Amino acid sequence: MFDAADGRVEDIRHRGRKGVLSAWRDAVLLKSVYAYGTRRRETAMLDLHDLRHNPRAKAYGRFGAMEVRFGKASRGSPPKRRTVLTVPEMDWIVPLLEEWTVGVRSGFGVGGHPALWVTERCGRISLRRLDEVFSLVRDLAGLDADLELHCLRHTYITHLIEFGYPERFVQDQVGHRYAATTALYTWVSDEYRNRLLEDSLRRRAERADTREGRKKR
């Protein structure tokens, strides 16, 4: 999918057509949704100042964390806030966000508009446009038409689990109230399951070797 998004930028540029900046935005936006696991509304409502420093990850500069101010609310409650940390496995997003915020975004002529993701009409990107962007790139990539933008969030959750992060950390990153919800979103790969099995067998063999060594002594 991300290759298709990047290819779209190059295709428009090669043809000398309008829309290079918008296609560039779309590519970085989709990667950002995956890199932080944000929902549609959370993504659309992000402002520039929501990109934050993380004192524990100084190398990422102002992209060490993302402040989500419009998280999914419980019934009758205001939107929930949370801070999503940039994880090392996704730190490829840092230079992309820097390039977008420092250079590309200004090409839209938005002036002092606070939104992180802006449109050709100098406004904040809409939920509908987010869906259109995903559908367009999904189709270019030849992926299943049933896939929606939210699948990037599902993938983020699964990959954090596969990277070895504790379930509580993952739960806090994505703003789930209950751990059971996080579990429902997780579909680990066969490769990951086999890796767990191999690690278990290795530990078992090591314990057996240790016991055998003690007997010989």
For residue range 94-128, list pLDDT tens digits in order.
999 999 999 999 999 999 999 999 999 999 999 99
Q: What percent of the chain is modeled with pLDDT above 90? A: 72
CATH number where 43 lies: 1.10.443.10
Mean pLDDT value of segment 174-190: 69
- Is 80 part of any domain? yes
Q: Is residue 180 part of a domain?
A: no
Q: Is residue 100 part of a domain?
A: yes
Higher pLDDT, 145 or 204: 145
> What DSSP element (H or E) covers 84?
strand 80-85
209 inside domain: no
**In-domain check, residue 156:** no
Q: Domain of 38?
A: 2-144
Domain membership of residue 21 (yes or no) is: yes
Average pLDDT over residues 120-137: 96
| Predicted pLDDT of residue 191 | 65
In this predicted structure, what is the pLDDT of residue 73?
81
With a cut of 80, say whether residue 60 has pLDDT above it: yes
- Is the residue at 211 inside a domain? no
The β-bridge partners of 84 are 66
- Rounded (10°) CA dihedral 2, 20, 110, 60: 40
Based on the structure, what is the number of domains in the chain? 1
Q: Is residue 214 in some structural domain?
A: no
d(CA 163, CA 192): 9
Angle subtended at Cα 22 by Cα 17 and Cα 26, rounded to the nearest 5 degrees: 130
Cβ proximity of 9 and 18 under 8 Å: no
Q: Band the pLDDT of 85: cuts 50, 70, 90.
A: very high
